[in-house]
């Protein structure tokens, strides 16, 4: 992949595909991590004298302009972080975009409206997607891919535009790929992976692939209850994917066959319901009452997981250990994060909810070797899949 230094950008219009898909409460950004992650590449282009045109998506407007998915609040925050006004185009590739881009001077930045307002961005039809990509490409002379969180999507701005313009990978994409290669090709051992989150089904491919590579696999979060149920235990009202039980039994057998230490919770916080103030008791993971719901790993499990991480040389963590948004059920996620911070290992936080949890819990981001911006993209890379947005950058 070519990098920024391989492009001559001074005085030229550069289209940057960023990942600015941040959570909003009305017009208030509640976590600006992805915006901050995009700043270094945009700043490098600004300082090199480029006319920078940023494009990104937000949410799932499904091909229609919807005010609640506008990127206007993102333009304001990006401007604050860059220390200069960011011009905002009221459409994606229409009259407003063209006039906004035409007014840019060297070193100035514009942000286009939400890419997903245009049906062509996500279209499965190659011709429809290509037609929209041509409109985007007409705005610029060069293309930089810096939205790692979107490179697993075969979307116009990710996959088709690079074929139409001289292109390079931005600093964020380069850094993410280097980290993921360390997790797949150049891994120091012991190699420990911690998986959490709600659903086993979201991580079937990555579990299957990691069982061939890791020394230990620690499973928490909602997905742990499907593993416990697969062993024949009562999980009460806890999150359970009954249709995945056979698949999970296969994972348990495969781990045993390969000598992988697959570690499940030994105790949980079993609550009376899914609520921030729900009463709960600490119970054994194999003794969850039928009328209770596990919302976090318990204190013994937190100690167990920390012990399993203590001698690791490489750690990948994706998915919270409980409902970290509720203070009472955030302790397990905090314990895993703090164990990674205390570790001497190369530690990677796999984006998505895990990265959000680090920020929400007020933990030092520099305590980790790398915090990914691409949850889904990271997982698909670790599955061994070819990511369309990376393939499009290969020359």
Residue 313 annotated as lining a ligand binding site: no
Residue 354 annotated as lining a ligand binding site: yes
The maximal CA–CA distance of the chain, rounded, in angstroms, is 67
Adjacent-strand bridge partners of 268: 283, 297
Residue 153 annotated as lining a ligand binding site: yes
Residue 325 annotated as lining a ligand binding site: yes
SS (H, E, C) 349-390: ECCHHHHHHHHHCCCCHHHCCEECCCHHHHHHHHHCCCCHHH
- Listed in sequence order, the residues at least 6 apart from 43 whose beta carbon sits closer than 8 Å to its beta carbon are 82
Residue 294 annotated as lining a ligand binding site: yes
Residue 25 annotated as lining a ligand binding site: no
Residue 152 annotated as lining a ligand binding site: no
Q: Which of 13, 17, 33, 34 is catalytic?
A: 34
Q: Which of 36, 199, 213, 249 is catalytic?
A: 199
Instruction: Please give the sequence-ordered ranges of beta strands (E in DSSP) within 13-108, or none if there are none.
Output: 13-17, 24-25, 28-29, 51-55, 86-88
Is 222 annotated as catalytic?
A: no
Residue 352 annotated as lining a ligand binding site: yes
Cα–Cα distance between 50 and 109 in angstroms, integer?
Answer: 9
Please return the burial class of 136, using the count of CB atoms within 10 Å of its CB with bins 0-12, 13-18 and 19+.
buried
Residue 164: DSSP 8-state: T
Residue 209 annotated as lining a ligand binding site: no
Residue 164 annotated as lining a ligand binding site: no
DSSP labels, 168-230:
EE-HHHHHHHHHHHHHHTS--SSEEEEE-SS-SGGGHHHHHHHTTT-SEEEE-STTHHHHHHH
Which tokens hold the place of 368?
């980790």
Cα–Cα distance between 86 and 105 in angstroms, integer?
Answer: 12
- The count of other CB atoms within 10 Å of the CB of residue 6 is 12
Q: Which of 120, 322, 350, 376 is catalytic?
A: 376
Residue 249 annotated as lining a ligand binding site: no
Q: Which of 352, 374, 375, 389 is catalytic?
A: 352
**For 380, phi and psi rounded to 5 degrees?**
-70, -35
Is 34 annotated as catalytic?
A: yes
Cα–Cα distance between 218 and 126 in angstroms, integer?
Answer: 41
Residue 21 annotated as lining a ligand binding site: yes
Is 257 annotated as catalytic?
A: no
Residues with a catalytic annotation lie at 34, 199, 352, 376
Annotated binding-site members for ATP? 203, 294, 325, 351-354
**Annotated binding-site ranges for (2R)-3-phosphoglycerate:** 34, 116, 153
Q: From the annotation, which residues make up the binding site?
A: 19-21, 34, 57-60, 116, 153, 203, 294, 325, 351-354
């Amino acid at each position: 992949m070519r990098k920024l230094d391989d492009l001559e950008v001074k005085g030229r219009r550069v289209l940057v595909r960023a990942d600015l898909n941040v959570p909003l409460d009305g017009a208030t950004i509640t976590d600006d991590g992805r915006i901050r992650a995009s700043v270094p590449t945009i700043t490098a282009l600004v300082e090199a004298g480029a006319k920078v045109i940023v494009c990104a998506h937000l949410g799932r407007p499904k091909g229609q302009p919807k005010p609640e998915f506008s990127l206007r609040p993102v333009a304001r925050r990006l401007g604050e972080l860059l220390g200069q006004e960011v011009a905002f185009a009221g459409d994606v590739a229409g009259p407003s975009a063209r006039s906004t881009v035409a007014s840019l001077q060297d070193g100035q930045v514009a942000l286009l409206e939400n890419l997903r307002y245009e049906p062509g961005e996500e279209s499965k039809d190659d011709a429809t997607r290509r037609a929209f990509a041509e409109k985007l490409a007409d705005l610029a002379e060069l293309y930089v891919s810096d939205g790692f969180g979107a490179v697993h999507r075969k979307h116009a701005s990710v996959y088709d535009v690079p074929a139409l313009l001289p292109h390079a990978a931005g600093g964020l994409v380069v850094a993410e790929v280097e980290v993921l290669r360390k997790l797949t090709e150049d891994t120091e051992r012991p190699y420990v992976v911690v998986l959490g989150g709600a659903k086993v089904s979201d991580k079937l491919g990555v579990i299957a692939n990691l069982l061939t590579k890791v020394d230990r696999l620690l499973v928490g979060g909602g997905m742990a209850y499907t593993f416990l149920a697969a062993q024949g235990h009562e999980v009460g009202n806890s999150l359970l994917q009954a249709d995945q039980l056979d698949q999970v039994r296969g994972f348990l057998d495969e781990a045993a066959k390969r000598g992988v230490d697959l570690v499940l919770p030994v105790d949980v916080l079993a609550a009376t319901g899914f609520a921030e103030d729900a009463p709960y008791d600490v119970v054994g993971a194999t003794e969850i009452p039928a009328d209770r719901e596990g919302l976090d790993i318990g204190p013994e499990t937190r100690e167990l997981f920390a012990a399993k991480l203590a001698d690791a040389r490489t750690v990948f963590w994706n998915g919270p250990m409980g409902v970290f948004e509720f203070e009472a059920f955030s302790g397990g996620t905090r314990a895993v994060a703090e164990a990674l911070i205390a570790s001497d290992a190369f530690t990677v936080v796999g984006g998505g909810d895990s990265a959000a949890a680090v920020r929400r819990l007020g933990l030092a981001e520099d305590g980790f070797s790398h915090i990914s911006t691409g949850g889904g993209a990271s997982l698909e890379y670790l599955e061994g899949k070819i990511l369309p947005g990376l393939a499009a950058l290969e020359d």
